[in-house]
Amino acid sequence: MSKLYSGAEIVFKCLEDQGVEFVFGYPGGAVLPIYDELKNFSFLKHILVRHEQGAGHAAEGYARSSGKPGVLIVTSGPGATNAVTALTDAYMDSVPLVCISGQVPTHLIGTDAFQECDTTGITRPCTKHNWLVKDINELEKTIHKAFEVATTGRPGPVLVDIPKDVQFQKTSYTKFVKQKKLNGKVHNQFSQNDIDELIKLMNKASKPIFYTGGGVINSGPKASELLRELVNTTGFPITTTLQGLGSYPGEDSQFLGMLGMHGSYEANNAMHDCDLMINIGARFDDRITGKIDEFSPKSKKVHIDIDPSSINKNVKVDLPIIGDVAEVIASTIKTIKKTKPNFAKSNKQKISKWWEKIQKWRSINSFDFVNSTETIKPQYAVQRLYELTKNKDTYITTEVGQHQMWAAQHYKFDKPNRWMTSGGLGTMGYGLPAAVGVQVAHPKKLVIDIAGEASVLMTMQEMSTAVQYSLPIKIFILNNEYMGMVRQWQELLHDKNYSESYTAALPDFVKLAEAYGCVGIRATRPEELDDKIIEMINTDRPVIFDCLVDKEENCFPMIPSGKPHNQMLLGPNDKKGKKITGKGKTLV
């Protein structure tokens, strides 16, 4: 007779067989049996967070920077509800998470027991799938299935709810052998015909553009390499979404920068005027498309995605190709090489006019800003941060708001998995705990959270986690004392009625850093910025960097609401001045 294991032990056996090394969590009544077993499984390191939302975002940061699923353990009731924001965030941004939650004992379910909530009911709309395990014999199968669902196809969060009595019950455990990545075979629904069709369109196009997204990153580092090869082979311009940054080198000449609401002028205009749009692993999000009816009216649209439900959801496309991005690109490159070895050369002439047009848009230099010698401009701070860290293989996380857009505009990424930001859900407070998770996955690397002072206060307590595990994360706060993006919208669209967007009482971030047991640095003048940033980089402990920036800077360029891509607002530096002037701003 084989050895019997308790439900709690089986949880760890499963994690071991899945190759999990780190778990983020917070103990509580309904998961105590699991925490009781923790000491017996040395393969696993538990990171104790300060709030379950932090556990979720840390697991997201871990997953996005390492390509492995993030795991978190939370207790029943408030533990599970606190994790909901992070689960929803992971669902929107396709991050593989496995959340193990405790539940009240089976016989108490439905009685409004202490710390009971309908966890599977609450998390149903924000997970790919969830399970309530009422039978100990189902536990092993369920957890392994949970990992499979989280990591295959379009990745996402899952939740396994385990009642306390099931954690105590015993059964046998069969060793699980992880199958090779199923992703490709199961999800590839494309044929060689689709690829041929794509190449035919590419041949015909005179104004083509690649529009790539987070799907390229999710498909693995190989996909980014292949994308570079494809872009170089074709000579087409490429723009990426917020989540796609890093899939293509940010300083390459074929790269037009990020597109969308605060994307570059050249990327958005090229999207509007192109005759062939090749969407690779992006989802036509509303921040990207602007007004749908006028979105890229003259183009043939190709959509490569692993998720069939992403096709034709927001924008009708002409050629859908359903499959793993890496494999679709690989087949495309292979076919081009076989059938048209001189593709780039023969194509160069055809798209040269297109490139001329793009260069004209580019010359507007839409990310430009008016620098100052008096105050630190937030864009300047990000630029300096980039210049001083670009040779270090730096990992960047962000919170949500103006600073996030400035980071996306001015920090250039060379490799995938280096940029972690909350795009879909837009969760303020994401960046700090995410940085914790990134640093756990990459203990020797430089990890910086480019933050706003309002966002970072939402999950500031996780500094305590960073200190406990000696995770030298750097919190680079662009402090303008406003919820900057809220203030910007109020300025432009609500007649400067700055309703509740100013934080009249902020903590002293340097003292706060000291209170947490880490290092606080403050920069107030542009000339001292470089030295302070270098000081931050050289500090081998967690740092909170309070960078006092211009309080009223706005994030440009931007596509105003309800407008198509070719009607962008440029910043105050716009020389023609026809798009936006002091008065024009308020008329947006």
Partner 1 sequence: MTRSRSAYSVPGRQGKFDTHIIVVWVDNETGVLARVVGLFSGRGYNIESLAVAEIDSKLNISRITIVTTGTPQVIEQIKLQLKKLVPVHKVADFRREDKNVIFKEMALFKVVGNNFKKEKALKACKKYNPVILDKTKKSYVIQITALRREIMLLHQLKLNPYLLDQLTILGVCFPKHL
- Decide whether 286 or 552 has the Cβ nearer to partner 1: 286
From the list 479, 408, 421, 420, the residue with the least C-alpha distance to 445 is 420
Beta strands (DSSP E) in 361-503 are 395-398, 419-420, 447-452, 474-479
Instruction: Name which position in 2, 42, 193, 309 contacts partner 1 (CB under 8 A).
Output: 309
H or E element that contains 151 = helix 136-151
Report the 3 state secondary structure along 51-96: CHHHHHHHHHHHHHHHCCCEEEEECCCHHHHHHHHHHHHHHHCCCC
Please give the Cα distance from 13 to 16 (Å, whole number). 5
Report the 3 state secondary structure along 264-293: CHHHHHHHHHCCEEEEECCCCCHHHHCCHH
Question: Taking contact as CB under 8 A, which single stretch among the options 20-28, 88-96, 106-114, 284-292 is the one that binds partner 1?
Answer: 284-292
Residue 289 interacts with partner 1 (CB under 8 A): yes or no: yes
- Nearest approach, Cβ of residue 400 and partner 1 (Å): 13
Instruction: Name which position in 135, 286, 387, 393 contacts partner 1 (CB under 8 A).
Output: 286
Residue 128 interacts with partner 1 (CB under 8 A): yes or no: yes
Question: Taking contact as CB under 8 A, which single stretch among the options 64-72, 199-207, 307-315, 545-553 is the one that binds partner 1?
Answer: 307-315
- Nearest approach, Cβ of residue 580 and partner 1 (Å): 15
- Decide whether 118 or 414 has the Cβ nearer to partner 1: 118
Q: Is 42 exposed, middle or buried (0-12, 13-18, 19+ CB in 10 A)?
A: exposed
Other residues' Cβ atoms within 10 Å of the Cβ of residue 78:
14
Site for partner 1 in 314-343 (CB under 8 A): 316
From the list 73, 101, 100, 97, the residue with the least C-alpha distance to 86 is 97
Q: Is 588 exposed, middle or buried (0-12, 13-18, 19+ CB in 10 A)?
A: middle
Q: Per DSSP, what are the bridge partners of residue 420?
A: 397
- Decide whether 293 or 540 has the Cβ nearer to partner 1: 293
Residue 120 interacts with partner 1 (CB under 8 A): yes or no: yes
DSSP 549: B
The values of phi and psi at residue 558, to 5°, are: -145, 150
Residue 124 interacts with partner 1 (CB under 8 A): yes or no: yes
Question: What would the x/- binding string for partner 1 be over residues 139 to 178, using CB under 8 A?
Answer: ----------x-----------------------------
Question: Taking contact as CB under 8 A, which single stretch among the options 48-56, 121-129, 348-356, 377-385 is the one that binds partner 1?
Answer: 121-129
Q: Which residues contact 465 (CB under 8 A, 6 or more apart)?
A: 47, 48, 49, 50, 54, 58, 433, 436, 471
Please give the Cα distance from 17 to 145 (Å, whole number). 13
Question: Taking contact as CB under 8 A, which single stretch among the options 16-24, 127-135, 270-278, 528-536 is the one that binds partner 1?
Answer: 127-135
- Nearest approach, Cβ of residue 402 and partner 1 (Å): 13
Please give the Cα distance from 538 to 98 (Å, whole number). 35
- Decide whether 255 or 295 has the Cβ nearer to partner 1: 295
- Nearest approach, Cβ of residue 550 and partner 1 (Å): 23
Instruction: Name which position in 46, 50, 228, 291 contacts partner 1 (CB under 8 A).
Output: 291
Instruction: Name which position in 46, 50, 68, 129 contacts partner 1 (CB under 8 A).
Output: 129
Contact 405, 262 (CB under 8 A): yes
From the list 50, 45, 56, the residue with the least C-alpha distance to 16 is 45
Q: Is 59 exposed, middle or buried (0-12, 13-18, 19+ CB in 10 A)?
A: buried
Residue 585 interacts with partner 1 (CB under 8 A): yes or no: no
Query: Pairing state of beta strands 300-305 and 276-280?
Result: parallel
Contact 216, 227 (CB under 8 A): yes
Instruction: Name which position in 29, 105, 308, 572 contacts partner 1 (CB under 8 A).
Output: 308
- Nearest approach, Cβ of residue 561 and partner 1 (Å): 5
CA 17 to chain centroid, in Å, comes to 27
Residues marked active site are found at: 52, 114-115, 164, 485
Instruction: Name which position in 251, 293, 374, 527 contacts partner 1 (CB under 8 A).
Output: 293
Site for partner 1 in 448-507 (CB under 8 A): 489, 493-494
Residue 135 interacts with partner 1 (CB under 8 A): yes or no: no
- Decide whether 390 or 579 has the Cβ nearer to partner 1: 579
Number of residues that bind partner 1 (CB under 8 A): 27
Residue 179 interacts with partner 1 (CB under 8 A): yes or no: no
Question: What would the x/- binding string for partner 1 be over residues 505 to 544, using CB under 8 A?
Answer: ----------------------------------------
- Nearest approach, Cβ of residue 532 and partner 1 (Å): 34
Instruction: Name which position in 19, 121, 341, 517 contacts partner 1 (CB under 8 A).
Output: 121
Please give the Cα distance from 202 to 274 (Å, whole number). 12
| Interacting residue ranges for partner 1, rule: CB under 8 A | 120-121, 124-125, 128-129, 132, 149, 286, 289-293, 307-309, 311-313, 316, 489, 493-494, 561-562, 588
